[in-house]
Amino acid sequence: MARTPSEREPRPVAHAPEAPLVMKTIDYRTQSDEELVHHAQGGDTRAFDELVQRYRDKVYRLSYKILRHEDDAAEALQEAFLSAYRGLAKFKAESTFSTWLYRIATNAALMKYRRRREGHVSLERSQNPTEDGEPMQLRDWSALPIDELLSGELREVMQQGIERLPEDLRTVFLLRDIEEKSNADVSEILDLSIPAVKSRLHRARLALRGHLNRYFSGKGAARTRPED
C-alpha cells in the first residue's frame, strides 16, 4: 500500500561541513610577565621557559656580583629558577614577578656565600642595633677625574672594597647602586623597611668612600715622595 506524502520518511537535512578545529598558538615572546605567570601556573611549561630566557642573564649577573665566582653563580642561578618553579603556584600578583624572582635569587646567592665566607674581612661592622633612622645624605664621589674613573685599576680597587663590605651592606649596595633597583624594590626583595635600606646604603657608601680615600691618599703620597 502506497504511503501518503505525510507518511513518507522525512528527507535528511543537509548540514554544512564542520570547520576544522584550529589550535590557537601563543607568541610567548610578546606576552607580559603577568600573562606568562598565569600560563605557567596553569601548567604551561613553555611559558615558564620564556620567563627563564627573559631573566636568566639578569639573575646570573646579580648572583655573580654577590659571589664573584662563575661556578657558584651558575649553581645559584639554577637553584633560584628551580625554587621559583616550585613556588610559582603560590605566587600572587601583590608584587611583580621580577621583584619576587630577585628575592629568590638574592637568597640563593647569599646562602651559597654564607657557606664559604670564612676568612671574610669587613670594612665596617654594623654596631647600630636599630636601622629605622633616616641617614644623612652623602654626595656621590663623581668629582674624580674621568681617566681615573675609567681606569681598570680603580675598578679593581672599587670591587675589592665592595667584596670586603659586610654581607648586609654589600647586598643593599649591589641591588641599589649597581643593579639600580629602587629603594622600594630593595625593601621588598630583602624584606626590610625603606629606612633600613637607606641606612645600610648610607653605611656601605661611607665605607667605600673611606676605602677609595685611602687608595687616592696612597697614590698622592707615592707621587710626592722624593726620588732617591
In the chain, where are the structural domains located? 30-114, 146-222
Contact at 8 Å (CB) between 212 and 141?
A: yes
CATH 1.10.8.60 assigned to 30-114:
no
Which burial class, exposed, middle or buried, applies to 48 when counting CB atoms under 10 A from its CB (0-12, 13-18, 19+)?
buried
The per-residue pLDDT for range 188-223, each reduced to its tens digit, is 999 999 999 999 999 999 999 998 888 888 765 555
| Distance between CA atoms of residues 3 and 69, nearest Å | 94
Residue % of the chain over a pLDDT of 70: 69
Structure confidence at residue 13 (pLDDT): 57
The per-residue pLDDT for range 2-55, each reduced to its tens digit, is 555 555 565 655 555 665 544 567 899 999 999 999 999 999 999 999 999 999
Sequential DSSP letters for 15-42: -PPPPPPPPPP--GGGS-HHHHHHHHHT
Q: Which numeric CATH code is attached to 146-222? A: 1.10.10.10
What is the distance of C-alpha 16 from the center of its chain? 56
Whether the per-residue pLDDT at 161 is higher than 50: the answer is yes
The pLDDT-based confidence of 105 (bands split at 50, 70, 90) is very high
3-state secondary structure of 223: helix
Structure confidence at residue 118 (pLDDT): 53
